A and B are shown apart, each in its own frame.
Chain A
Amino acid sequence: MSASLDNTKSYLEVNPGWRNWVVTLDHKRIGMMYLCGILAALMLGGFFALLVRTELFSPGAQIVHQDWYNKFFTLHGAVMVFLVIIPGIPAALGNMVLPIQLGAPDVAFPRLNLASFYLWCGGATLLLLSVALGGIDTGWTFYTPYSIETQTAVLPAVSGAFLLGFSSIFTGLNFLVTIHKFRPASMGWFQMPLNLWALYATALMQVLATPVLGITLLLLFVERFMQIGIFDPTLGGDPVLFQHFFWFYSHPAVYIMIVPAMGVVSEILTTFSRKPIFGYRFIAYSSIALALFSFLVWGHHLFVSGQSRLANMVFSALTFSVGIPAAIKVFNWTATLYKGDIRLETPMLYVLSFLILFTIGGLTGIFLAVLSIDVHLHDTYFVVAHFHYVMMGSTLVAFLGGLHYWWPKLSGRMYPETIGKVCAWGVFIGFNLTFLPQFVMGSRGMPRRYWDYDPEYTLYHRLSTIGAFILGMSMFTVVCYLAWSLKRGKKATQNPWGGSTLEWVAPTPPTVFNFPEPPPEVELYEYDDLHEVENANQDGVTNWERRPAANKPARSSHH
């Protein structure tokens, strides 16, 4: 097959037409299809979020009654977690960028890659089927015994999540093998871009943790069908066991969501500061540390579930340990800005937002790791706000940053910069307005997953709803202008941001096998050789050209 493909042409030009796209084995096309699916799911999940927030504008029924409200928050959670955030950075951005950053023509198993995408489609279809069958009202966590007895469409949703798990495993497996086998001889582990370290750590978790989700959902499936008595207390089962199984996957899943975001942030931060990343090794090791710790902290979701005090003690201690690698990363990123030449383009605005939002998300995690405080805050809006700061404020904001950063490379077009910046501010302001008030009402005692609430929380709910609409409008605008730019955007140059990694050596858009000729060796995060050329193409877009610096200043390397 490869013989018939012309590697001097852009991957978008060779074999156009949807018939060729749907059977493509090209990682960039698969990534693009993932991206379309994920952005569609993002809008669907966002729509459910706005329904939830609209209902909560005042106490009592606003637009719907309890049963529909319960379905809305369940679908919001399930769509956002399983369809958007988990695959978001690895499967869409990672797929497009990982082989190019390695200087490789594709991932190790292109067919497995396509299979992963179709499993995602299958899972998404089943989730949508559960919406069509009247929705599901268990919460995205499917806690037993409620999920065993509810009359809503649990089975399609559970089967959907099961398939999505395999999609995630396939992606992870592919990335692990690709990084091991396709790394060029000149690129040692510590010459890899930090994005690859992060994707590697993520892939480890995807491969090791996701099977447990599959097993758990299968057991739930069987329990509903055949009443075998694993989780159902009336048959001698243990509903709390489900929580252990579920979080044994879903806690690592939190790191499957956040660790790749950290990789994206590292890339953008160094490029837009025109400086090597500070403390490369510490950041790389802390990605791996997070991946390992992520398997040992699931019990903090069960602090008030009836877990023994000894187990609570151990899980509390282990949970604190997660804070250390996370803190190291934040300090190192901040230090990277020092003495830089900071360019505030849209991707950088998202990354600076990430730094602030992730700091809040991480610090509020400390409250929840302290056992005695957690007893009060567990299952309140404080927790809701905390994990939204991590999942949405950090992961999704980094995803948006990465999307803007690599969009010119992969689509061959620039997005409109001014409106991009306005939307980045809109996301930051809207997000904080949505979730800061939730910390306050949560610590005052407002429980989560409440359709109705007591009047003393009204002000905070209203601020939160207003924020959600600002956030929603900003994100919707982003999707619109990206779609617009596909045809109308300015033509992108080879290296519009001055990135130093291999994807910026590849043509824009990359050719079918990424590089028309074998890529040169580049020194990681070395910016002295890159020179800005304004108005480099007919659309007036900047390009950064590589030529040796006249007087190369001495600087210590990161080895």
Chain B
Amino acid sequence: MKVCPAHRRRVLDRFVLLVVLVGLTFGSAFAPASAQPAVPPGTPAAAPAAAAASPAAGPPAAADMSWWDKKAAEPYIYDGTYWLPPAASTTAQGPDDLFIWVLGLSAFFFFAITGAVVYFVIKYRHRPGHKAEPSPAHNDVLEITWTIIPTIIVVILFVYGWRSYISMTSIPETRAENQIMVTGSKWFWTFRYYNGVEDNVLHVPHDQPVKLTMTSTDVLHSFFIPVFRQKQDVVPRRFSYIWFWPTKTGVYRVYCTEYCGKDHSLMKTKVVVHTSGDYERYLAEAFTRQMSLSGAPLGESVYKKKGCEGCHTLDGSVRLGPSFKGTFGSKITLADGAIVTMDDVYIRSSLLSPQGQTRPGFPPSMPVIPLSDKEIEGVIEFIKAQK
């Protein structure tokens, strides 16, 4: 097992790939994986909305960008095999090996069956003078054989799949710094570290086990990191767990894979695997930075990290909620017809009880977002500053 499994896998992988490619004569399969279009540097994810809903992916003003945010904004270059993304965690080994074996097995059976079908169709096709020849209508030995062989194969596959699943889901001892709380909300992820740092990008150390404890504030989500081969649903009012042991530094994709409504496809972020020491540096510096913020800058940080900008714009355009541009101090009409002033009191009550004073034309879809008093003051200052 230990003799260079990566190499063995690559050889197997190539062999299977060759067989499959030739067989399927499937044009696109000939494009080498590395030639896939990567994100050109500096190009934002895709639609403008993408940048809005996943704050970390969007390019904030470069000047006040921290080194870790710059790192997270680095383009992702797909450099996996033809079938699988790169493996960047020990948890990828089991499923990857099995994937290749099952692929080989499938290719064998596919070509055996298709080959037999095509051969029979050509050989026994109807043509003048050709007639069906008498042949047995059943053959117990043959039929029992092809019942038993698949049975043996699936039993073996089940056992190996089960064993590698157990190792993928058995969480080893993890130091406190590597235990991270994950919250899924429509439509962003929040990661909270042991020292209170909150971020929308997942930062993890290289070559150490990391444990995530996950929950949701609203509907079902699912946390998926392709390069770690790990995925787990995130359920409101429940905790679910996932772990991995990163083996490759770099920046990789994180997706939500349980349909969660409108911006499901924009609920994605990055995971940054730091070299030894950088992770601790990130925790310390992010902590200092978070503590030093107050007033409008803190409000701006909350606005970006808590997903506010998915619904509330700063440029006057309307999404699921009203824009913040030039609203502070104005008179607004509520759904029940009352007219109130959009001031500190209104903002505070809307944050604490979003369905209390709703405005007509907007669905009552804003969730309660837990904020400290300092953060609420920051948000008020930030909205005030949107002239």
Q: Which of A150, A324, A376, A378 has the most CB of B within 10 A?
A: A376
Inter-chain CA distance A455–B44, complex, in Å, is: 11
Cβ-based interface call for B185 (8 A): no
Cβ-based interface call for A556 (8 A): yes
Chain A contacts of B169 at CB under 8 A?
309
Q: Which of B95, B98, B116, B229 has the most CB of A within 10 A?
A: B95
Out of A234, A324, A455, A553, name the residue touching B37 (CB < 8 Å): A455
A447 touches B161 (CB 8 A): no
Inter-chain CA distance A371–B230, complex, in Å, is: 12
How would you classify the secondary structure of chain B's contact residues: helix, strand, loop or mixed? Answer: mixed
A145 touches B83 (CB 8 A): no
Q: Mark B8-33, 1 if CB is under 8 A from A, else 0.
A: 00000000000000001011110100
- Distance in Å from the Cβ of B16 to the closest Cβ of chain A? 12
Residues 320 to 343 of chain A near chain B (Cβ within 8 Å) = 320-321, 323-324, 327-328, 330-332, 334-335, 337-343
A341 touches B116 (CB 8 A): no
A370 touches B161 (CB 8 A): yes
B157 touches A366 (CB 8 A): yes
Q: Which of A273, A320, A463 has the most CB of B within 10 A?
A: A320
Residues 322 to 374 of chain A near chain B (Cβ within 8 Å) = 323-324, 327-328, 330-332, 334-335, 337-344, 352, 355-356, 359-360, 363-364, 366-367, 369-374
Tell me which of A124-132, A162-170, A277-285 binds B.
A277-285
A373 touches B158 (CB 8 A): no
Q: Which of B99, B147, B165, B168 has the most CB of A within 10 A?
A: B165
Known: A304-B233, A372-B95, A444-B85. A339 touches B133 (CB 8 A): yes
Chain A contacts of B67 at CB under 8 A?
none
Cβ-based interface call for B356 (8 A): no
A234 touches B237 (CB 8 A): yes
- Distance in Å from the Cβ of A417 to the closest Cβ of chain B? 14
Q: Mark B148-162, 1 if CB is under 8 A from A, else 0.
A: 001100110110111
Cβ-based interface call for B175 (8 A): no
A145 touches B132 (CB 8 A): no
Cβ-based interface call for B322 (8 A): no
Residues 233 to 279 of chain A near chain B (Cβ within 8 Å) = 233-234, 239-240, 273-279
A341 touches B154 (CB 8 A): no
- Distance in Å from the Cβ of A77 to the closest Cβ of chain B? 11
Known: A234-B237, A451-B264. A456 touches B157 (CB 8 A): no
A373 touches B39 (CB 8 A): no
Chain A contacts of B222 at CB under 8 A?
304, 378-379
Chain A contacts of B218 at CB under 8 A?
145, 149
Out of A280, A306, A452, A527, name the residue touching B238 (CB < 8 Å): A306
Known: A305-B233, A334-B117, A556-B136. A344 touches B37 (CB 8 A): no
Inter-chain CA distance A151–B92, complex, in Å, is: 40
Inter-chain CA distance A66–B264, complex, in Å, is: 9
Chain B contacts of A61 at CB under 8 A?
47
Cβ-based interface call for B135 (8 A): yes
Out of A340, A364, A372, A459, name the residue touching B168 (CB < 8 Å): A372
Out of B36, B46, B220, name the residue touching A145 (CB < 8 Å): B220
- Distance in Å from the Cβ of A489 to the closest Cβ of chain B? 23
Chain B contacts of A555 at CB under 8 A?
134-137
- Distance in Å from the Cβ of B269 to the closest Cβ of chain A? 12
CB closest chain-A residue, reference B40 = A455
B137 touches A372 (CB 8 A): no
Cβ-based interface call for B178 (8 A): no
Cβ-based interface call for B110 (8 A): yes
A356 touches B124 (CB 8 A): no
B106 touches A366 (CB 8 A): yes
Cβ-based interface call for B226 (8 A): yes
- Distance in Å from the Cβ of A124 to the closest Cβ of chain B? 24
CB closest chain-B residue, reference A383 = B257
Cβ-based interface call for B342 (8 A): no
CB closest chain-A residue, reference B120 = A337
Q: Which of B151, B233, B365 has the most CB of A within 10 A?
A: B233
Inter-chain CA distance A408–B203, complex, in Å, is: 66
Out of A327, A371, A525, name the residue touching B150 (CB < 8 Å): A327
Known: A60-B46, A444-B85. A306 touches B233 (CB 8 A): yes
B264 touches A450 (CB 8 A): yes
Chain A contacts of B24 at CB under 8 A?
436
Chain B contacts of A138 at CB under 8 A?
259
Tell me which of A83-91, A108-116, A311-319 binds B.
A311-319
Inter-chain CA distance A553–B132, complex, in Å, is: 11
B85 touches A59 (CB 8 A): no
A342 touches B125 (CB 8 A): yes
- Distance in Å from the Cβ of A153 to the closest Cβ of chain B? 14
Chain B contacts of A451 at CB under 8 A?
264-265
B120 touches A342 (CB 8 A): yes
Chain A contacts of B263 at CB under 8 A?
66
Out of A234, A278, A338, A342, name the residue touching B138 (CB < 8 Å): A278
Cβ-based interface call for B121 (8 A): yes
B46 touches A445 (CB 8 A): no
- Distance in Å from the Cβ of B109 to the closest Cβ of chain A? 6
Q: Which of A279, A312, A332, A452 has the most CB of B within 10 A?
A: A452
Inter-chain CA distance A363–B99, complex, in Å, is: 12
- Distance in Å from the Cβ of B114 to the closest Cβ of chain A? 6
Q: Mark B113-147, 1 if CB is under 8 A from A, else 0.
A: 11011001100111000111111111100110011
A380 touches B38 (CB 8 A): no
A376 touches B265 (CB 8 A): no
Q: Mark A130-160, 1 if CB is under 8 A from B, else 0.
A: 0000000111000101100111000000000
A553 touches B134 (CB 8 A): yes
Chain B contacts of A24 at CB under 8 A?
none
Cβ-based interface call for A448 (8 A): yes
Q: Mark A212-238, 1 if CB is under 8 A from B, else 0.
A: 000000000000000000000110000
Chain B contacts of A317 at CB under 8 A?
158, 162
Chain B contacts of A332 at CB under 8 A?
143
A455 touches B38 (CB 8 A): yes
Out of B121, B135, B253, name the residue touching A275 (CB < 8 Å): B135
A343 touches B363 (CB 8 A): no
Chain A contacts of B158 at CB under 8 A?
316-317, 320, 369-370
Known: A146-B261, A317-B158, A343-B126. A444 touches B83 (CB 8 A): yes
- The 3 A-B pairs of least Cβ separation, nearest first, read A445-B226, A370-B161, A371-B165
Q: Using A341-B131, A449-B259, A451-B265 as known contacts, list a sample of 12 further A-B pairs with CB atoms less than 8 Å apart, ordered by residue number in A.
A: A66-B265, A282-B147, A316-B161, A328-B143, A332-B143, A338-B135, A341-B124, A360-B110, A378-B257, A444-B78, A444-B226, A459-B31
Q: Can you name 30 A-B pairs with beta carbons within 8 Å?
A: A59-B47, A66-B263, A137-B261, A145-B220, A146-B260, A233-B236, A239-B236, A276-B137, A316-B165, A317-B158, A327-B146, A327-B147, A328-B146, A331-B113, A337-B120, A337-B124, A339-B134, A342-B124, A343-B125, A359-B114, A360-B110, A366-B157, A367-B106, A371-B161, A373-B102, A379-B258, A443-B84, A444-B80, A452-B46, A455-B38
